[in-house]
Amino acid sequence: MVENIGLSTNRTLNPNYQIVNTTPEEVSDNNRTYCKQRFNFTAMKDKPYTEPELKRNETHESRNPKLTKSQRVLAEHWFIEYKYTDLSLNLVNQRVKNSKGMNKFTDAKLKEKNAISELESLKSLLEEGWNPFNEESNINLRKTIVSITIPESINLYKNFLLEENLRRKTLQTYESKLKYFGEYYPLLKVNQVTNQKISDFLKFQRTDKKWSSKTYNAAHQIINALFTYLLNANYVTENPVKGVVRLKGNTTPSDLHKVIKDEHFKLIRDYLAINDKFTEFFVTAIYYTCIRPKELRQLKLKMVDLSNNKIVVPSEISKNKRTGTIPITPMFKEYLKQFNLDSFPKENYLFSSASSIGGSDKVGENTPYYRFMSCLKKLNLDGEGYTLYSVKHTSNVARYLGGWSLAEIMAVNRHGSISQTETYLRELNKFIEFNDKEVPL
């Protein structure tokens, strides 16, 4: 059975084809030329198929002279027949028959109406490139010709993001920007989107909604991510956002997740040590392991191997979907002793609900984030551009300045490339003194 790909409006065709061979079962390379010659390409008029026809075969029952015209119509065996050629599949002049659902009617007029509708639907499908023998080709055809609207693509992408288990706040940011995009182009197909249309949308929002450069660039990034998803899913052949320029403004990528200044980091650690031991542990764990906050929330005690001084982050919770191993440094191991982790069930979580250690339920999705931001606010540091990811950036800069190589930093962060690691060191020039350095001769 070949599913209807719905290339035309209000089509109900769902062919179940009976294939009748009129050529040898396998057309070899040696006799393909012969098959081409005996096939009447002129009759096809540059199409790989002959015109579909509705055939009405008599049956033993339909030959009964006592039947009325309507009864005879119902007793006949009706089917649609045509011939199709696909040389890539070694098919030449292949006869195709479809009778599914055509002979089950109890009303002659309905049978005829349905048959005509089936015939016209099949003709339209074939004209638009549908292939009765190649479902993979039909799937691509559905995506390139039928395509989907921008709101439909946004719904698909939102489902994809939900499977990625992003933080609720991140999802809300994506949804708000994509909502504007879908409302601006409610009927536009994704394969009709150009960089000019995206520019028009962003410029309108900039003017009408008074978007700042930061909001404009955030929307640019989110729409770019949407079309990257659509490109990977074969709904589009290129990403139109690539030709749209971001705005220059006071906010640059380095304004997010800034490296925490030494004096500020000391203030944060001292405050948490007195007022919020749970968040202090969470921040310390990020600093010593460079495990992402989302991964840390899902870390179970069985993944913390104190005997072998390592933490294993399994693929099911890892951002890159690969199992990774992080060393437990001597200082971090000494720090962990105060929690007596071996006294808890191994299936329990390192960071659990109710802001406790070693509980059966993992800590809430946004709990560490909100508690860390609350700390920053108490210390009047909430305007410095610091986030939980800043702790990871701070750790990477400290490692580099402490003599770690880029390869070692890449390994502990479980990055896929050195260039990815270098993004964490983008503020390194602020921490390096050149005054005492001589240029080698």
Q: Say if residue 221 is in the same domain as residue 288.
A: no
Q: Which among 98, 119, 145 is the end of a domain? A: 145
Q: Say if residue 304 is in the same domain as residue 418.
A: yes
Q: What is the pTM of this model?
A: 0.49
Q: Is residue 4 part of a domain?
A: no
Q: Say if residue 306 is in the same domain as residue 407.
A: yes
Q: In this model, does residue 425 exceed pLDDT 60?
A: yes
Q: In this model, does residue 18 exceed pLDDT 50?
A: no
Q: In this model, does residue 199 exceed pLDDT 80?
A: yes
Q: In this model, does residue 25 exceed pLDDT 50?
A: no
> Over the stretch 83-136, which tens digit does the pLDDT of each residue have?
999 998 899 999 999 988 889 888 898 899 888 888 888 888 888 788 888 887
What average pLDDT does the chain have? 82
Question: In terms of pLDDT, which residue wins out, 163 or 160?
Answer: 160
Mean pLDDT score, 291-295: 91
Q: Say if residue 139 is in the same domain as residue 187.
A: no
Q: Say if residue 232 is in the same domain as residue 204.
A: yes
Q: Say if residue 167 is in the same domain as residue 136.
A: no
Q: Is residue 45 part of a domain?
A: yes
Which CATH number belongs to the domain containing residue 332 in this structure?
A: 1.10.443.10
Q: In this model, does residue 416 exceed pLDDT 90?
A: no
Q: Write out the DSSP string of 251-317.
A: --GGGSSPPPPHHHHHHHHHHHHHH-HHHHHHHHHHHHH---HHHHHT-BGGGEETTTTEEEE-TTT
Q: Say if residue 69 is in the same domain as residue 201.
A: no
pLDDT at 439: 62
> Over the stretch 344-360, which tens digit does the pLDDT of each residue have?
999 999 999 878 899 99
Of these ranges, 143-152, 217-226, 229-238, 314-323, the one predicted with the greatest mean pLDDT is 217-226
Q: Say if residue 398 is in the same domain as residue 298.
A: yes
Nearest to 6, CA basis, from 130, 157, 191, 116 = 130
Above pLDDT 70, what percent of the chain? 81
Q: Say if residue 275 is in the same domain as residue 226.
A: no
Q: Which among 145, 165, 182 is the end of a domain? A: 145
Q: Say if residue 91 is in the same domain as residue 163.
A: no
Q: Is residue 9 part of a domain?
A: no
For the record, the structure tokens of 423 come out as: 């993004």
Q: What's the domain count of the chain?
A: 3
Q: Which among 145, 168, 190 is the end of a domain? A: 145
Q: Say if residue 416 is in the same domain as residue 355.
A: yes
> Domain containing 286: what range?
262-431
Q: Say if residue 240 is in the same domain as residue 271.
A: no
